[in-house]
Structure 1
Amino acid sequence: MALAVLLTAVGTATQASAGSVQHSVTKGKVSIETVVQFGDNVQPVTIEENSPINIARVIQIGGTGTVDATIIQNGTRNYANVIQMGGTTNAVIGQSGVSNTAEITQIGNSTNTLLLQIGDMNSGAVRQFGRFNWLAIFQFSR
């Protein structure tokens, strides 16, 4: 049902409008946060999760401006996924836990990613499609 509402909102949005859907759930030892933004004036997103199991997903479809996402996760198992489209895309992900997974996809004129993972099992995938791409990955074991 939520997906149908999102698809309807995306379909009816005009080029100058901006839309946003955010959903957060923390129950017991699991924290899940999802943010979806679209339009010319998307706002910077910051997610901080401190549960044993953390899941964060950010989807930003912007115009020609800057699109920013920051995810900080401290827990046993951390998963982060960022998909960005815009003139300039910036993603910062910091994860500390036993098992860390991050996936970033960026499409824009300038794409920038900083990924820091501290844990025993770190996995990171970054896909950048742009004229100017910058990427730094730091993975440390405990």
Structure 2
Amino acid sequence: MKVLIAYATKSGASRDCAEALASRFENAVLADLSKSSPSLEGFDAVVLGSGIRIGRAYRPARRFWKENQTRLLEKPLAFYFCNAEPESFEKAVQRNISQELMAHAVCVRSFGGIQPFSKSQTKEWMNHAAMEELAAALGQ
């Protein structure tokens, strides 16, 4: 299965999670949405990720989701957010993912996060169990 993992990041947390998640798939392609807008052609499934700051997903992610909604509804789809405030996860999901995409998604998870404008020397903040759940939901 060829999987696109497209993400938006500011602190690097979403990129770190995308890389960790990619190791769970045999054929994963990573795309930083602040640098490019990848085509969905040729992918069997799509994972979309973004950091959350003040309740909002990053603009490149929101723009990609909106511009590609029709095509995203044609493939197995999963979302992850990197949010340092887990209690706000449900609100962030409701605020950032359209009802159509949410209804279509096989999995939506929080992968943890680091506080804005800080750097973590370790990756202990990552929620690996949530990564396993997302990969399993896509058949891996």
Which TM-score applies when normalising by structure 2? 0.32
Higher percent of residues as strand: 1
Higher relative contact order (CA 8 A, sep 6+): 2
Which TM-score applies when normalising by structure 1? 0.32
The structure number with the bigger radius of gyration is 1
Higher percent of residues as helix: 2
